[in-house]
């Protein structure tokens, strides 16, 4: 056994004091957001009614490479960060691979995922602006939980619109949010105009993320002292999530480890973008080279099978237009798809990096993902979230390739969270009742055809 | 802010290399186990048909102060240990107390509790003895989950008898165990003689821990190559759990902190006994003094209202007799009691220490416990297990006393686990539907009167 411990913990003093903004080093900047009415690039002031001013500025900032992390956010980070970079000795042994496998584990906090990194930042800027509270939507509940924790800590009001089917089928996530003082409303509700309209048009609907976004935005803009916050996709979120990559790089550097391959799961891109940003920065500056792989579900393959074009960010079409790899804003993954990673598009930053060839992408089937999840759980002890298990699948595949070739590659992947609230999906897998679904080319083409022409 | 970090992490090299056996330093040793047939002290060989030989020896060992932790167990510990000793800066600030509050957090592993510390040790000795597998019972599922993780890691078979009502009402815990490859059987089952007898006698029964123990013991003794393992109460379990206290003491010593008060929740005594053992050792050797407080639920008050006498360890009366503070082996906490800490007796070691005045005990009401749990969750970010929240309640009470007196006491408590699988109880609390129950003196007297006369 080498001198590298099972878990590399940085000290609290080694938590980064600034987030890294990869856009500053990108030659091709991510395309600007467009006003859906005029088709023209948005001015920062146009975002102020929806987002906090400071966050709006971060959303638009393509020039500053580092943005200081406020002291109050750093103090909060110290309650659960630095997160460990774990050497997967037991997984390596079990696979019989010469590869060295590392994972950055973001699940050791009550939200169960990396989402808390941006939730506390967004809640902090809302408080600094003197707001009363924030509104958001949540699907499975990971982001809503993280935001509830952040707002409870700062004493802000928190209103969460939770997709109705999740509200009813995932009561435990809902109760965690309520324990943290959040008001959780099943969406579509009768509390907003858009909610009432949808309930009237589609009686008995169980809701969708797109509808919940529309309700949360309406709630934010119709109440004095409220703004809307979002857990993925946006540039500001990737900025905050850069803390994942910065810590990962610091831990590797501390032990003189040079990563060959960096793997992350990709839904909206918040974890992947955060994990890879300092490494991509090195690539953009010509300082190093890495094999970066985004892993997405075969049932929602925005990078591998989507189109790079302007699209609506939400199904309700109330948000700005963003240029991204997209399956069309009306695309909804098949009902048998478990866990998150069900967003129709991809972060503009990740999309541009992908288009520029700085990363590759793979899609994996659900049953293969859960097979990897179970293998990982049994040898490494951590029950992974379905989302994170997409990255595990490819890390295992790559480690097995190393076994063939005899290469001792350093494989780093992001373990974004734990699966404690996803046991219904595990039960389906344990009972042999989990199935795969891959959309046809025709389905995707029909959905993409509805993207706006700008 | 002082120089003490939010989380004190020892390095992996500082994980203790030996467990500490407090019995070696006790002047009054815990009373010996008795053969229920003869009423005579058991010889170690009499335990071999039930427990592994090495564990039987540990159960009887009153002389060796340190027992080496096997290398394979240490390697497993490295996947989730050392656990952090956390300075509760945010809780202190929220309470406005001059006290310094620390908690040893054992919940950062997939079993969600400290139970894993003994599960891996017991599974290791079973494997070393060449056994095929182990059997056990589980109520809420914390211990069963921990054992499943340990046996999956070592490649042993694991058979868990889960109280039927929990099996049906806590399907997620059951699925975690199944994901780790355990066979989970609702108890009473039709697979054992005792299970069939009970099903016949009480048709439609939803089971009890006592019945599940009896089934697990029968399953172990009737199958070639199996032994029974248990997650609390036993001396061997407290020995393994001493890793909690040893790490806690090492972390405090590293920063020159002298604890004034050490607080732990007490059900069977596994966490409390492990946490306090090195500190009690100092007291027994006259090296230091601490104010040690065991906290138990008002609905199951074995230390504060029980009797110190020999009693059956299980309801089925198949196990040896142990001398302990007990409410009588037929005592069952009221149905409104949430979470664990529902055992009728208390570890013989903890009972003897309590009888000798080395620790005090308090009982707390359920609604007060959940009030403390919610306050803690909101400022410290961790959603605590109901069990652990008993210790939080008393830590907060003591910190508020310090606020009155102006004393800057160092308060240390054990945060044994997380509450992610206890959201039904949190929901009752959030909905204002949680109630308290305190047994009458008559109820307790009637139950204790059924203890065996030896």
| Domains of chain A by residue range | 7-15+82-112+235-448, 18-24+33-67+115-228
First-last CA distance in chain B: 57
How far is Cα A72 from Cα B443, in angstroms, rounded to an integer? 52
Beta bridge partners of B294: B264, B361
Mutate to test the interface with A, among B79, B83, B182 (most CBs of A within 10 A): B79
Q: In A, which residues are within 8 Å of B426 by CB distance?
A: 175-176, 178-179
Q: Residue A122's pLDDT is what?
A: 98
B4 contacts chain A (CB < 8 A): no
What are the Cα distances from residue A59, in Å, to A236, A237, A274, B300? 5, 8, 15, 55
How far is Cα A205 from Cα A188, in angstroms, rounded to an integer? 8
Do residue B381 and residue A78 have CB atoms under 8 angstroms apart? no
Per-residue pLDDT 10s for chain A (454 aa) are: 458 999 999 999 999 999 999 999 999 999 999 998 899 999 999 999 999 999 999 999 999 999 999 999 999 999 999 999 999 999 999 999 999 999 999 999 999 999 999 999 999 999 999 999 999 999 889 999 999 999 999 999 999 999 898 888 888 999 999 999 999 999 999 999 999 998 998 898 888 887 899 899 999 999 999 999 999 999 999 999 999 999 999 999 999 999 999 999 999 999 999 999 999 999 999 999 999 999 999 999 999 999 999 999 877 777 889 999 999 988 888 877 777 788 899 999 999 999 999 999 999 999 999 999 999 999 999 999 999 999 999 999 999 999 999 999 999 999 999 999 999 999 999 999 999 999 999 999 999 999 998 8
Rg from Cα positions in chain A: 21
Q: Residue A1's pLDDT is what?
A: 45
Do residue A378 and residue B178 have CB atoms under 8 angstroms apart? no
Nearest-Cα distance to chain B for A323, in Å, is 36
Do residue B171 and residue A80 have CB atoms under 8 angstroms apart? no
Q: Residue B165's pLDDT is what?
A: 84
Q: In B, which residues are within 8 Å of A152 by CB distance?
A: 377-379
Mutate to test the interface with A, among B75, B80, B101, B106 (most CBs of A within 10 A): B80
Q: Which helix (H) or strand (E) holds A7?
A: strand A7-8
A378 contacts chain B (CB < 8 A): yes
Nearest-Cα distance to chain B for A12, in Å, is 7
How far is Cα A279 from Cα A282, in angstroms, rounded to an integer? 5
Q: How many residues does chain B have?
A: 454
Question: Quick one: closest CA in A to B427, which residue?
Answer: A175
How far is Cα B384 from Cα B415, in angstroms, rounded to an integer? 7
List all residues of chain A from 40 to 99 with a beta carbon under 8 Å from chain B: 75-76, 78-80, 86, 89-90
Structure tokens at B340: 């664990």
- Mean pLDDT, chain B, integer: 95
Residue by residue, DSSP assigns A28-79 as SPPPPPB-TTT-SBPPGGGGTTTS-HHHHHHHH--S-SEEEPPHHHHHHHHH
- Closest Cα partner for A361 from A344, A346, A343, A339? A346
Question: Quick one: closest CA in A to B417, which residue?
Answer: A110
Do residue A383 and residue B420 have CB atoms under 8 angstroms apart? no
- As for the ipTM of the complex, it is 0.93
Nearest-Cα distance to chain A for B71, in Å, is 13
Given this structure, which CATH class describes domain B18-24+33-67+115-228? Answer: alpha beta
Mutate to test the interface with B, among A1, A7, A81 (most CBs of B within 10 A): A7
Q: Residue A417's pLDDT is what?
A: 96
Q: Which residue has the tokens 């003093």?
A: A13
Work out the average pLDDT over B347-368.
97
Q: Which member of B90, B179, B380 has the closest CB to residue A426?
A: B179
Q: Which member of B89, B179, B380 has the closest CB to residue A377?
A: B179
Fold match, B7-15+82-112+235-448 / B18-24+33-67+115-228? yes
Q: Which member of A6, A149, A382 has the closest CB to residue B381?
A: A149
Instruction: Return the minimum-mean-pLDDT range out of B64-68, B120-124, B192-196, B255-259.
Output: B192-196
- Closest Cα partner for A261 from A375, A381, A116, A360? A360
**pLDDT higher than threshold 80 for residue B338:** no
Q: In A, which residues are within 8 Å of B421 by CB distance?
A: 420
List all residues of chain A from 169 to 188 with a beta carbon under 8 Å from chain B: 171-172, 175-176, 178-181
Half-sphere exposure of B214 (CA within 13 A, CB side): 21
How far is Cα B378 from Cα A233, in angstroms, rounded to an integer? 27
Q: In B, which residues are within 8 Å of A175 by CB distance?
A: 423, 426-427, 430
pLDDT tens for residues B2-36? 589 999 999 999 999 999 999 999 999 999 999 98
* % of chain B exceeding 90 in pLDDT: 86
Q: In B, which residues are within 8 Å of A418 by CB distance?
A: 110
Do residue B108 and residue A108 have CB atoms under 8 angstroms apart? yes
Q: Residue A361's pLDDT is what?
A: 98
Nearest-Cα distance to chain A for B371, in Å, is 10
Nearest-Cα distance to chain B for A267, in Å, is 24
pLDDT tens for residues B222-252? 999 999 999 999 999 999 999 999 999 999 9
Kindly tell me the number of DSSP H helices and DSSP E strands found in chain A. Answer: 17, 15
Beta bridge partners of B322: B311
Mutate to test the interface with A, among B115, B171, B381 (most CBs of A within 10 A): B381
Q: Residue B2's pLDDT is what?
A: 59
Structure tokens at A215: 């309700």
pLDDT tens for residues B378-415? 999 999 999 999 999 999 999 999 999 999 999 999 99
How far is Cα B441 from Cα B426, in angstroms, rounded to an integer? 29
**What does pTM read for this prediction?**
0.95
Structure tokens at B31: 């009373």
Asked if B429 and B370 touch (Cβ cutoff 8 Å), the reply is: yes
A382 contacts chain B (CB < 8 A): yes
Do residue B153 and residue A426 have CB atoms under 8 angstroms apart? no
Report CA B10 to chain centroid distance, whole Å: 23
Q: In A, which residues are within 8 Å of B153 by CB distance?
A: 90, 378-379, 381
Q: Which member of A110, A374, A380 has the closest CB to residue B383?
A: A110
Do residue A423 and residue B176 have CB atoms under 8 angstroms apart? yes
B9 contacts chain A (CB < 8 A): yes
Report CA A3 to chain centroid distance, whole Å: 33
Neighbours of A397 (CB within 10 A): 16
Q: Residue A342's pLDDT is what?
A: 84
- Closest Cα partner for A86 from A205, A215, A225, A247? A247
pLDDT tens for residues B86-104? 999 999 999 999 999 999 9
The C-alpha angle B289, B294, B297, rounded to 5 degrees, equals: 165
Structure tokens at B85: 């000793």
How far is Cα A274 from Cα A264, in angstroms, rounded to an integer? 10
- Closest Cα partner for B141 from B109, B108, B118, B175? B175
Fold of the B7-15+82-112+235-448 domain: Rossmann fold (3.40.50)
Work out the average pLDDT over B310-326.
88
List all residues of chain A from 264 to 303 with a beta carbon under 8 Å from chain B: none
Question: Quick one: closest CA in A to B385, which residue?
Answer: A110
Cis before residue B110, ω within 30 degrees of 0?
Answer: no
**Sign of the dihedral defined by the CA atoms of residues B294, B297, B115, A174, in that order:** negative
């Amino acid at each position: 056994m080498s001198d590298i411990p099972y878990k590399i913990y940085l000290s609290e003093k080694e938590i980064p004091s600034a987030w890294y903004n990869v856009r500053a080093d990108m030659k091709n900047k991510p395309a600007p957001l467009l006003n859906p009415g005029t088709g023209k690039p948005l001015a920062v002031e146009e975002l102020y009614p929806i987002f906090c001013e400071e966050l709006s500025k971060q959303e638009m900032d393509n020039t500053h490479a580092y943005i200081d992390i406020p002291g109050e956010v750093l103090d909060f980070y110290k309650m659960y960060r630095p997160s460990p970079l774990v050497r997967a000795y037991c997984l390596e042994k079990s696979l019989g691979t010469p590869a060295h496998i590392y994972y950055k584990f973001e699940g050791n906090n009550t939200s169960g995922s990396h989402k808390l990194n941006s939730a506390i930042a967004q809640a902090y800027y809302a408080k600094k602006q003197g707001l009363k509270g924030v509104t958001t939507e949540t699907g499975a509940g990971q982001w809503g939980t993280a935001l509830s924790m952040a707002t409870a800590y700062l004493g802000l009001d928190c209103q969460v619109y939770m997709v109705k089917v999740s509200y009813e089928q995932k009561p435990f996530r809902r109760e965690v949010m309520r324990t943290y003082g959040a008001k959780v409303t099943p969406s579509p509700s009768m509390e907003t105009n858009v909610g009432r309209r949808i309930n009237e048009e589609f009686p008995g609907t169980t809701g969708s993320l797109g509808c919940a976004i529309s309700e949360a935005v309406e709630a934010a803009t119709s109440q004095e002292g409220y703004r809307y916050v979002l857990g993925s996709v946006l540039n500001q979120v990737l900025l905050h999530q850069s803390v994942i990559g910065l810590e990962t790089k610091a831990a590797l550097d501390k032990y003189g480890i040079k990563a060959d391959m960096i793997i992350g799961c990709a839904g909206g891109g918040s974890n992947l973008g955060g994990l890879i940003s300092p490494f991509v920065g090195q690539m953009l500056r010509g300082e190093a080279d890495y094999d970066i792989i985004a892993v997405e579900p075969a049932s929602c393959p925005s990078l591998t099978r989507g189109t790079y074009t302007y699209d609506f960010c939400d199904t309700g079409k109330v948000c700005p237009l963003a240029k991204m790899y997209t399956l069309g804003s009306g695309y909804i993954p098949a009902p048998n798809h478990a866990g998150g990673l069900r967003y129709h598009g991809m972060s503009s930053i990740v999309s541009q990096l992908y288009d520029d060839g700085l990363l590759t992408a793979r899609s994996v089937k659900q049953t293969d993902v859960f097979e990897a999840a179970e293998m990982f759980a049994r040898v490494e002890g951590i029950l992974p979230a379905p989302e994170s298990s997409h990255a595990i699948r490819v890390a295992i595949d790559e480690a097995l390739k190393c076994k063939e070739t005899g290469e001792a590659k350093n494989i780093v992947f992001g373990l974004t969270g734990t699966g404690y609230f996803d046991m219904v999906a595990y039960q389906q897998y344990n009972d042999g009742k989990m199935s795969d679904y891959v959309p046809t080319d025709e389905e995707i083409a029909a959905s993409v055809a509805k993207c706006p022409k700008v």
